[in-house]
Structure 1
């Protein structure tokens, strides 16, 4: 065999070996891609499952029978009334005990509202929402709403309502999720802390009622908490003509003339 033929065969073998190596490399890359795709697929499924679980948690309804607090009024007994029934004007307030804007509203208007209700010029219907639990996570809005309903059972809603807002934790601090904290704060209301009240709080007696109240808030199409309506007309949140305690008093006096 000539030298030229031998060199030609060696070159062919070398090319064949190189092609085999390239093929091995391609096969390896293909296996890596297949494995990576499988991993991504598993992670995607896990993410979807997590999203579904998260959404399911947001929509989860509180279990247990619906138990409205004593004296609750209005449609489905979702309002807690304060003041004399004979009052001509009605102030409807939607609040969340974890809502900072609600605390600001209460700090600003509490004295005026108490004055008007004590004089028989105004009755108030409180509606409780739990939107901060949904926005920030946790259960403090629900637990506080239940505890406030328990205070209503004892005829002490107003002072306990005021204590909760006065002692409201920062929005990101879910301190109200602890029943022990809610019972501790109830100590600031004379005669509220009884075995009956503590059992009501710990058992979540009014959880389903609070859950239904929150759904009513969502279905009402309100912009947020607090929402404040005087005889059905929204009087709070107008930045061009902001409400003041004096304006609230004037609006009630004017409404009572009609």
Structure 2
């Protein structure tokens, strides 16, 4: 091959190589920019766990399901706080101290109505049995003391193959007639009501436990006390003159 042909090939190689190199670099930069932008767009928002429940679902809660849950506070309070919980759920157990504080500060004073709905999850083997025990305690007018006790003693019974004896121990500690509680538990008397409460959770498209509704604002997971208090205060300010409109 002549020197002249080598020179032509070198010139051609240089003419093609550098544009290709530049284009390749631009493609890599574009991919990096798109990747960064994509990550930025999909970063979790602080409000991902807060949403507004539909008017249809709220109407169903008020007309069909609120009467099934265990409630505390004035039935005509301007704001209703609803909690969907699973007694074996660790997050629900952690949230219980906040829920107790809200009930003491707002429900006992009559400012809000607090309603607890059972939503035992299939993954928790003892959750439904605990809900039945709590429902049986309600038949002795001791729902809230027993409810609190179940959460506070969660570690005692949650992993037992048969927690019945522990549920009876908790009944004695709470001042219940353990014989009546056992008979009720054996008959599973509250189960139909629990299934209806689970249906209420499905109506609002429940995604996790605990879920808390302040009016029609839903908090998935146990909201911090300050966040929940702020939502209640805002709801009271907005609905204080419109009892029952939540």
Shift of 1:126: 1.0
Q: Answer yes or no: is the 8 Å Cα contact 1:236–1:243 preserved in 2.
A: no
Counterpart check, 1:151 vs 2:137: yes
Aligned counterpart for 1:135 among listed residues 123, 137, 140: 123
Aligned to 1:175: 160
Q: Which residue of 1 aligns with 2:174?
A: 189
- Among candidates 210, 222, 229, match of residue 194 of structure 2: 210
Matching residue within 81, 91, 95 for 2:85: 95
Q: Distance in 2 between matches of 1:109 and 1:206?
A: 23
Distance 1:115 1:238 in 2: 17
**Which blocks of at least 5 consecutive residues in structure 1 are unaligned?**
1-72
Aligned residues: 179
> Max radius of gyration: which structure?
1
149-158 or 75-84: bigger deviation: 75-84
Asked whether the equivalents of residues 176 and 182 of structure 1 are also in contact (C-alpha less than 8 Å), the reply is: no
Return the TM-score normalized by structure 1: 0.60
Aligned to 1:250: 233
Q: Give yes or no for contact 1:160–1:186 (8 Å, CA) kept in 2.
A: yes
Cα distance 1:170–1:184, how it changes in 2: closer, same or farther (>3 A)?
closer
* Residues 221 and 243 (structure 1), Cα distance of their counterparts in 2 relative to 1, 3 Å cut: farther
The SS at the match of 1:229 is strand
The Cα of 1:244 is off from its aligned counterpart by 3.4
Once the two structures are TM-superposed, the CA of residue 242 in structure 1 deviates from its matched residue by: 8.4
Matches within 5 A, 1:209-248: 209-235=193-219, 237=221, 244=227, 246-248=229-231
Compared with structure 1, are the counterparts of its residues 209 and 238 closer, same or farther at alpha carbon in structure 2 (3 Å cutoff)? closer
What is the CA distance between 1:215 and its match in structure 2?
3.6
The Cα shift of 1:91 comes to 0.5
Bigger relative contact order, structure 1 or 2 (CA pairs below 8 A, ≥6 apart): 2
Q: CA RMSD for the aligned pairs?
A: 2.9
Q: TM-score, normalised by structure 2?
A: 0.63
Q: Summarize the Cα distance change of 1:165–1:74 in structure 2 as closer, same or farther, 3 Å threshold.
A: farther
